[in-house]
Amino acid sequence: TPIPATLIRGDGIGPEIMDAVLAALDALGAPFAFEERPAGLNAMERHGGDPLPEETLASIRRTRLALKGPLTTPVGSGFRSVNVRLREAFGLYANLRPCRTIVPGRFSDVDLVVVRENLGGLYVGQEHWIPVAGDPHAVGVATGFNTREACRRIVTYAFDYAVTHGRKTVTVVHKANILKVLSGLFLEEARAVAKDYAGRVAFDERIIDACAMQLVLDPARFDVLVTTNLFGDILSDLVAGLVGGLGFAPGANIGPDAAVFEAVHGSAPDIAGQGKANPVALLLAAGLMLDHAGRPDAARRLRDAITATLAAGTGTPDIGGTATTAEFGAAVAAAIRRA
């Protein structure tokens, strides 16, 4: 039976990389019945209004599953980030960013997952200025929020993920030595949750700065990392750099009501429409979506085909290749059909 899902092509390189992904999903015989809906700058321009139209929200409410190309947040339009609005609208509290070596580079054996709290922390944008002696912007203030419930929920998600994916260790990444309240609460809840998984999943603690250094020196020692919103934002780009950059980094935004799968990178306006974009990150995101939809075999076939294509030397210009986006998608589709 087909699985209903919402498809958002997105802005910039979005339509090109999405076409490559659809070619691969077609070759797989993937079970998704896509409803295409608009979002982003293109939606605003074509529909003369909201970059996140109600028809798109309604579709995701119905399908509870979306594959999304990158969205350009229109600067100065008065609209908030569409990505942040999607997270809030569907309570997408867990941002999952797996990071695995496909093309050996600086490291050959990275296989870790960053689980980032997606709704709170220092990312909530509660900021203000304090004026001093005629300077209205003399002091900048930001407030962060971590609720006990949100900390417990994200750490529980990370441990459950470890159990269901055969992962051995969850490392909580924090700065509780300095941010004793904001980060201290997170660490306290992480330690409490870890006790429930004792004997099944090992638990480890790292302070964010030391963790960043250890990730760069020896990423193979890490397995699942769980952290708060801002630290997760930074660490997940750091780990993408360990395996070849943003072109290889997929992300999943998961909540109780829906899950949205995307590439970590943006709409890359500098190369849009030129057939230069690397579709691997969005292809890997489609793999995560297959996993999430209970189709791990199809997900594995997709990942194997991506690996085989890259191993055969086919790649887009960002990784030193000569293939266009469409050629890369066709090569992955062919590898799927051959396997």
- Give the residues lining the site for ligand NAI (CB under 6 A): 13, 70-73, 83, 246-247, 262, 265-271, 277-278, 281, 318
Tell me how far, at minimum, the Cβ of 281 lies from ligand NAI, in Å: 6
Asked whether the beta carbons of 280 and 295 are under 8 A apart, the reply is: no
The active-site residue out of 123, 157, 161, 197 is 123
11 binding Mg ion? (CB under 5 A) = no
Which has the closest alpha carbon to 157: 172, 144, 145, 147?
A: 172
| 28/284 with CB nearer Mg ion | 284
Would you call 327 exposed, middle or buried from its count of C-beta atoms within 10 A (0-12, 13-18, 19+)?
Answer: middle
Q: From the candidates 175, 197, 223, 291, which is the catalytic residue?
A: 175
Task: State how far the Cα of 196 lies from the Cα of 124, in Å rounded to an integer.
Answer: 30
Select the binding partner of residue 291 from Mg ion, ligand NAI, none (C-beta < 5 to 8 A, by kind): none
- Please, are residues 151 and 186 in contact by the beta-carbon 8 Å criterion? yes
Decide: is 262 part of the binding site for Mg ion (CB under 5 A).
Answer: no
Smaller CB distance to Mg ion: residue 117 or 233? 233
Please state, in angstroms and rounded to a whole number, the distance separating the CA atoms of residues 128 and 263.
32
Whether 123 is a known active-site residue: answer: yes
Least CB distance from residue 11 to Mg ion, whole Å?
17
**Partner touching 121 among Mg ion, ligand NAI, none, CB below 5 to 8 Å by kind:** none
Tell which residue, 303, 222, 242, 308, has the closest CA to residue 108. Answer: 242
Minimum gap (Å) between residue 125 Cβ and ligand NAI: 15
The residue among 264 and 335 lying less far from Mg ion, judged by its C-beta, is 264
**Of 11, 68, 93, 233, catalytic:** 233
**Is 209 designated active site?**
yes
Q: What stretch of H or E contains 225?
A: strand 224-227
End-to-end CA distance of the chain: 24
Residue 64, helix vs strand vs coil: coil
Site for Mg ion in 225-244 (CB under 5 A): 233
Nearest to 226 by CA among 121, 327, 296, 324: 121
**Toward ligand NAI, which CB reaches closer, 36 or 209?**
36
Catalytic residues: 123, 175, 209, 233
Residues in the site for Mg ion, rule: CB under 5 A? 233
